Structures are given as structure tokens and as C-alpha cells.
Amino acid sequence: MLANSHDIAVLAGDGIGPEVMEATLELLRAVEQKHGISLAFTATRAGAFCYKETGTDLSDEAFERAARADAILLGAMGWPGIRRADGTEIAPQITLRQRLDLYAGVRPIRAIPGTPAVLAHPRAKEIDFVILRESTEGLFFSKDQGIVSADWAEETLRLTRRTTERLARTAFRLAAHRAAQRGRPGRVTLVDKANVFRAFAFMREVFAPIAAEHPDIAYDQHYVDAMALDLVRRPWAFDVLPMENMFGDILSDLGAGLIGGMGFAPSADLGDTHGLFQPSHGTAPDIAGQGVANPTACMLSAAMMLEWLAMKGGGQRLLDAATDIREAVDHAFAEGLRTPDIGGGAGTVAATRAVISALRRRPG
């Protein structure tokens, strides 16, 4: 490996995971050439079909491989017909989040210029906010360990001070970064249900002193039910939205719906040392194997990966490469690219070609 090469563990996974990953790796190879960066990809097997064939969805070796890499790029994992003996889904991506302490799920929701607007409002094209989903605790704390008796069932929601503080710090850092990039003030809106649950009053209490350290960033709170309404009524009004795990799970799908569907929604799962990047979508069994999956979300996740590597000291070229991917995607759609999920005819291969062609034509 070259001294300045970045070691990327690639976990393509199941369903449309390998399809969007192949497209993304092709784009990344073009990006490497254009920007003079070096990425060393190591394909690592994990997921539902891996479980079916080998009895494990994420071997120790695969976990170590992912943990050692500079970054992890993941397609999608899980399959409806493949379950554990207790009936639960195969989801090694959740295991990775837990074991690598990837507490911050960063899910940008940005309307891509040129794509048909989902909302009729003229400001719909301004949609550009980020859902920051806490990804290791909240209502997922008792995942697989909820108690079910004949007459009642119970799950536990847990928020720790340590993770909530780190989430708050990530929110304000992200808002400052976005404000500098966009040349406008930043804003953090904590999404909770503090009017009903004491756990969310605790969350507000933890956020308050950290917000006070950032007088340049506006800070407010919004109840989750009101936020569901406002994300449909005026989504352009928001910037960075930190929230509990389950709320983030739900509102990030709503967010994806605002910009054309899951095929447009990238994500990053970040911890203090590790970063995992994957499209927000699942394995989409309804369209897997048909060559129609939209690779945009995976490509934009790869751009987030390059940006994160740049901020970890990887250098300006990675940052330029990340911007180039985003702008090439925008350019391709502005030029008329239409994937099947937004009513067009460009399948995965055609969409990949259009984005790579836009990338090659853009100034270096």
C-alpha cells in the first residue's frame, strides 16, 4: 500500500448492496485517477447470504478487517427469507455500529437540482438538512432483549450522558462546518418528546451547556410529532437535527421521501475513531437483481467518506474529490439523468456512466 493510500474495507452485502457498490467503486476509480488519490479496497464478506452459507453474518476476521481499515464502505445487508433461529433479522451493520461505537448517524437530506420535486412548494428545491441519529442506544438499547410475556411486552429506552454529550458536540461541529461551507449561519434543532418523557428532558439538560459553548450557532428544540409535520410543511427551514435512535430511524425515511426516495439518501455512521459509510436504504428485495437500483445514495456516501478522511488529516485532494462527486451527481441529474425510482429509464449501469461522464467533463 502507498504511504498516502487509504485502506477501505468494502462490505457490499446483500440484494442491491453489491449492485450499488459496484457502481460506486467504478466511480471511485475514476475519482482516484482524476484527483491523484489512492484508495486500497478490500472486499469483505458479510450479511444474510453469508450467514446462510457459512453460519455467521460477520466473522471475527471480517470484523477485524473492518475495524482495522481507515474507513468502511457498506452496501446494504439483510434478506427477508433469511432469519436467525429466533426469527430476528440478519443485520451485521447494527453489530458494527454497536461494536465500533458508531454513535452518530449522519443522514444528509438534500434535494438534487434537476430531480422532480416531491413537494409542490417552490422552496422544495432548497431542502438541505441533516438528520443526526444517535445510533447505539435510545429505544434500540434493548434490541433482541426486550421482554415478552403472554400479557405484556417491554423494551427499554436508554440515553447515557456520555453518548448524548458526544452527539451534541457532533451536532454543533456539523452545523459549524455546514455554515462555513454554505456561507450562512448554522442552526441545531434537537428533536425530542420532552413534554412526555423524562429521558428527553435529560437530553435537553445535556445539550444546553454544549449549545451555550456555540453562541454563533442558533439552537432550539422541536417535539418529534411536530417535526414530522414540519418536515413535510417547511423542510427547507431546518439545518442539523439531532435525535434519539428510533426517531432518527423513522424521520430519515421521511426525509428520503422528500427528495425522491431511498436511492438519494446517503449516510455515515461515525464514532470517535471509526467511520462507516452506507446508503440509507436497505437491500430492496423488490428490485434486487433487475439492474434498476439507483446508485446515487451509495455514491454520495462515498463522497462523505472522502470528506471524513480529509478531515481526519487525509488532505485537500480528498476534500476536492468529495466535492467533485457531489457536483458530478448534481450535474448528471441537471443534464437529464432520470433513474427508475423517479420515473426514468436509466438503470444502475446507465446512471453510473452518466455520473462518471459528468465527473470527467468537470474541471479538475
Q: Does 44 bind ligand ATP (CB under 6 A)?
A: no
Q: How far apart are CA 278 and CA 10, in angstroms?
A: 10
Question: Cα separations (Å) of 275 from 64, 109, 294, 302, 304?
Answer: 14, 19, 23, 11, 10
Q: Answer whether 271's CB lies under 8 Å from 237's CB.
A: no
Q: Does 297 bind ligand ATP (CB under 6 A)?
A: yes
With CB under 6 A as the contact rule, which of the stretches 147-155, 192-200, 269-277, 292-300 interacts with ligand ATP? Answer: 292-300
CB of 217 to ligand ATP, least distance (A): 31
Q: Does 249 bind ligand ATP (CB under 6 A)?
A: no
45-64 binders of ligand ATP (CB under 6 A):
none
With CB under 6 A as the contact rule, which of the stretches 126-134, 185-193, 277-285, 353-361 interacts with ligand ATP? Answer: 277-285
Q: Does 278 bind ligand ATP (CB under 6 A)?
A: no
Tell me the residue nearest to ligand ATP as measured from the CB.
Answer: 282
Q: Does 133 bind ligand ATP (CB under 6 A)?
A: no
Number of residues that bind ligand ATP (CB under 6 A): 16
CB of 20 to ligand ATP, least distance (A): 6
Which CB, 241 or 284, lies closer to ligand ATP?
284
Q: Does 18 bind ligand ATP (CB under 6 A)?
A: no
- Which residue, 326, 322, 298, is CA-closest to 308? 322
Q: Does 294 bind ligand ATP (CB under 6 A)?
A: yes
Which CB, 235 or 261, lies closer to ligand ATP?
261
Q: Does 293 bind ligand ATP (CB under 6 A)?
A: yes
Which CB, 68 or 84, lies closer to ligand ATP?
84
252's grid cell = 430519515
With CB under 6 A as the contact rule, which of the stretches 116-124, 136-144, 230-238, 281-289 interacts with ligand ATP? Answer: 281-289
Q: Does 263 bind ligand ATP (CB under 6 A)?
A: yes
Q: Does 266 bind ligand ATP (CB under 6 A)?
A: no
Q: Answer whether 284's CB lies under 8 Å from 261's CB.
A: no
With CB under 6 A as the contact rule, which of the stretches 97-105, 147-155, 163-171, 259-267 interacts with ligand ATP? Answer: 259-267
Q: Answer whether 129's CB lies under 8 Å from 241's CB.
A: yes
Q: Does 282 bind ligand ATP (CB under 6 A)?
A: yes
Q: How far apart are CA 29 and CA 9, in angstroms?
A: 15
Binding-site string for ligand ATP from residue 323 to residue 362, where x marks contact by CB under 6 A and - marks none: ------------------x---------------------
115's grid cell = 430531480
Q: Does 245 bind ligand ATP (CB under 6 A)?
A: no
The residues that touch ligand ATP, with contacts defined as CB under 6 A, are 16, 20, 78, 261-263, 281-284, 286-287, 293-294, 297, 341
